[in-house]
Amino acid sequence: MKKYFTLAIFDTETKKYHAEFGDYERQTVRDEAEFTYYYTPKKHMKIITTGDNQQSINQAIWALNIDHTLKSKGLIK
Protein backbone atom coordinates (compact mmCIF):
# COMPACT_ATOMS: atom_id res chain seq x y z
CA MET A 1 0.00 0.00 0.00
CA LYS A 2 1.35 3.42 -0.97
CA LYS A 3 1.29 6.57 1.17
CA TYR A 4 -1.60 8.88 0.33
CA PHE A 5 -1.94 12.49 1.45
CA THR A 6 -5.36 14.01 2.06
CA LEU A 7 -6.27 17.63 2.69
CA ALA A 8 -8.85 17.80 5.48
CA ILE A 9 -10.77 21.06 5.87
CA PHE A 10 -12.67 21.96 9.04
CA ASP A 11 -16.26 23.07 8.39
CA THR A 12 -17.26 25.65 10.99
CA GLU A 13 -20.97 24.95 10.44
CA THR A 14 -20.86 21.18 10.95
CA LYS A 15 -17.87 21.37 13.34
CA LYS A 16 -16.22 18.49 11.48
CA TYR A 17 -13.27 17.88 9.21
CA HIS A 18 -13.98 16.66 5.68
CA ALA A 19 -11.63 15.18 3.09
CA GLU A 20 -11.38 17.72 0.28
CA PHE A 21 -8.45 16.66 -1.88
CA GLY A 22 -5.90 13.86 -2.03
CA ASP A 23 -2.81 12.83 -3.93
CA TYR A 24 0.22 10.56 -3.70
CA GLU A 25 2.52 13.61 -3.54
CA ARG A 26 2.46 15.78 -0.40
CA GLN A 27 3.56 18.85 -2.36
CA THR A 28 0.56 18.53 -4.69
CA VAL A 29 -1.75 18.57 -1.66
CA ARG A 30 0.10 21.56 -0.19
CA ASP A 31 -0.26 23.41 -3.50
CA GLU A 32 -3.98 22.64 -3.57
CA ALA A 33 -4.35 24.00 -0.03
CA GLU A 34 -2.41 27.14 -0.88
CA PHE A 35 -4.11 28.00 -4.16
CA THR A 36 -7.65 26.68 -3.70
CA TYR A 37 -8.23 27.15 0.02
CA TYR A 38 -6.29 30.40 0.49
CA TYR A 39 -9.29 31.92 2.33
CA THR A 40 -9.35 29.08 4.89
CA PRO A 41 -7.46 29.71 8.14
CA LYS A 42 -4.45 27.41 8.46
CA LYS A 43 -5.78 26.10 11.77
CA HIS A 44 -8.75 24.68 9.80
CA MET A 45 -6.54 22.74 7.37
CA LYS A 46 -4.71 19.49 8.03
CA ILE A 47 -2.81 17.18 5.72
CA ILE A 48 -3.15 13.60 6.86
CA THR A 49 -1.14 10.62 5.68
CA THR A 50 -2.80 7.26 5.19
CA GLY A 51 -2.72 4.23 2.96
CA ASP A 52 -4.20 4.65 -0.49
CA ASN A 53 -7.59 3.11 0.17
CA GLN A 54 -10.86 4.75 1.13
CA GLN A 55 -11.16 2.88 4.41
CA SER A 56 -7.83 4.27 5.64
CA ILE A 57 -8.83 7.80 4.68
CA ASN A 58 -12.25 7.48 6.34
CA GLN A 59 -10.70 6.16 9.55
CA ALA A 60 -8.19 9.01 9.68
CA ILE A 61 -10.90 11.64 9.16
CA TRP A 62 -13.05 9.96 11.83
CA ALA A 63 -10.10 10.01 14.28
CA LEU A 64 -9.41 13.67 13.47
CA ASN A 65 -13.02 14.53 14.24
CA ILE A 66 -13.02 12.56 17.50
CA ASP A 67 -9.83 14.33 18.57
CA HIS A 68 -11.32 17.75 17.73
CA THR A 69 -14.55 16.98 19.61
CA LEU A 70 -12.71 15.86 22.74
CA LYS A 71 -10.41 18.90 22.67
CA SER A 72 -13.30 21.33 22.15
CA LYS A 73 -15.04 19.88 25.21
CA GLY A 74 -11.87 20.15 27.27
CA LEU A 75 -11.61 16.40 27.76
CA ILE A 76 -8.10 16.22 26.30
CA LYS A 77 -5.40 18.79 25.50
**Burial code of 29-67, b = ≥16 C-beta within 10 A, e = fewer?**
beebbeeebeeeeeeebbebebeeeeebbeebbeebbee
Q: Is the pTM of this model over 0.85?
A: yes
Length of the chain: 77
- Looking at residue 6, its pLDDT comes to 98
9-67 per-position pLDDT tens digit: 999 999 999 999 999 999 999 999 999 999 999 999 999 999 999 999 999 999 999 99
In whole angstroms, give the CA distance from residue 13 to residue 27: 28
**Helix (H), strand (E) at residue 10:** strand 3-11
- Looking at residue 77, its pLDDT comes to 80
- Looking at residue 26, its pLDDT comes to 98
